[in-house]
Amino acid sequence: MRHFTSIKQLGNIKEALEAAKYVKANPFADKALGQDKTALLVFFNNSLRTRLSTQKAALNLGMNVMVLDVNQGAWKLETERGVVMDGDKSEHLLEAIPVMGSYADVIGVRSFAQFKSKEDDYNEVILNQFIKYSGKPVFSMEAATRHPLQTFADLLTIEEHKKTARPKVVMTWAPHPKALPQAVPNSFAEGLLMTDYDFVIANPEGYDLAPEFTKGARITHNQDEALEGADFVYAKNWASYEHYGQVLSKDMSWTVTTEKMALTNNAFFLHCLPVRRNMIVSDDVIESPQSLVIPEAANRVVSAQTVLKMILQDL
């Protein structure tokens, strides 16, 4: 694999999950693969899990790791071409990217949707510039439209806990005070549609995701109906795609509570974290034995290591 920007690039998802299980059982088996190779992790946005799990994954593979927080200590970057740079931005991304490429063998990029332009966000302008100008393999650590390392970890977590071959998985919108990108739910839908699981998306009207990510999924605006008989509940907030980047609702009746979970088939609860307690999910649910949020986060090392291994094998 050269670049990793979508879960679809893993190809056969069953084989990819088997590869991940091998990595999980043998975390240091490929220590020689990354020797004398450097991973550069570039963050345009905050992170806890991605920052730590990807570093750990690279270290497990014997790589050196460098982390750059673009907004803390680097020169402020201009991203638009044609701009007269007479403001506070000292360096252009078009120089910065090949310079970064000259220091690294593999580059991870985190660059969220900015909600200024749906077109720019959905064309993944920043991520694609890294692919075009760095000269190195690039992997997404959450971009504007997808978070494939998260999705891979989510799928692994479901695989490890499912009690039937074809579980019912419900992704439900839940309220949040701020406008959040659609990357996680887009990517989760993309990944679930690679499986043969019974997949349902529940969201209020006005919150339907981009059809390119949800084609083939059942979509309902009735959360209770969706939750009936669910084996896994994946909660997430996202801002409206149709009314791009807007918060249309903070309806607290969509919070995942014990009462909501009682509608399910004793479902496991999933969330990518960080999560706003008692907005997205009640304390009781996230602290319950059915909550998988910690093993799900732990699986981020496995997903990153499996993907980095695939990239290193093709260097």
Binding site residues, ligand CP, CB under 6 A: 47-50, 142, 150, 272-274
**What phi, psi does 66 have (nearest 5°)?**
-125, 140
Nearest approach, Cβ of residue 274 and ligand CP (Å): 6
Nearer to ligand CP, 97 or 143 (CB): 143
Per-residue DSSP letter, 44:
S
Q: How many Cβ atoms from other residues are within 10 Å of residue 25's Cβ?
A: 9
Q: How far is the CB of 117 from ligand CP (least distance, A)?
A: 23
| Cα distance between residue 180 and residue 183, in whole Å | 9
| Reduced DSSP (H G I as helix, E B as strand, rest coil) percent helix, strand, coil of the chain, to 5 | 40, 15, 45
Please state the closest distance from residue 149 (CB atom) to ligand CP, in A: 8
CA distance 142 to 151: 10
Which residue, 50 or 282, has its beta carbon nearer to ligand CP? 50
Shortest Å, Cβ 278 to ligand CP: 19
Residue closest to 20 by CA, chosen among 304, 312, 232: 304
309 contacts 16 by C-beta, under 8 angstroms: no
- Judge contact between 143 and 127, C-beta under 8 A: yes
- Angle formed by the axes of helices 148-161 and 13-25, to 10°? 80
* Cβ proximity of 208 and 219 under 8 Å: yes
Tokens 């959040």: give the residue. Answer: 180
- 138 versus 272: smaller Cβ distance to ligand CP: 272
Between 78 and 174, name the residue whose CB sits nearer to ligand CP: 174
Question: Residue 133 or residue 152: which is nearer to ligand CP going by CB?
Answer: 152
Structure tokens at 100: 């970064």
CB of 44 to ligand CP, least distance (A): 12
C-beta of 168: minimal distance to ligand CP in Å? Answer: 23
CB of 30 or CB of 127, closer to ligand CP: 127
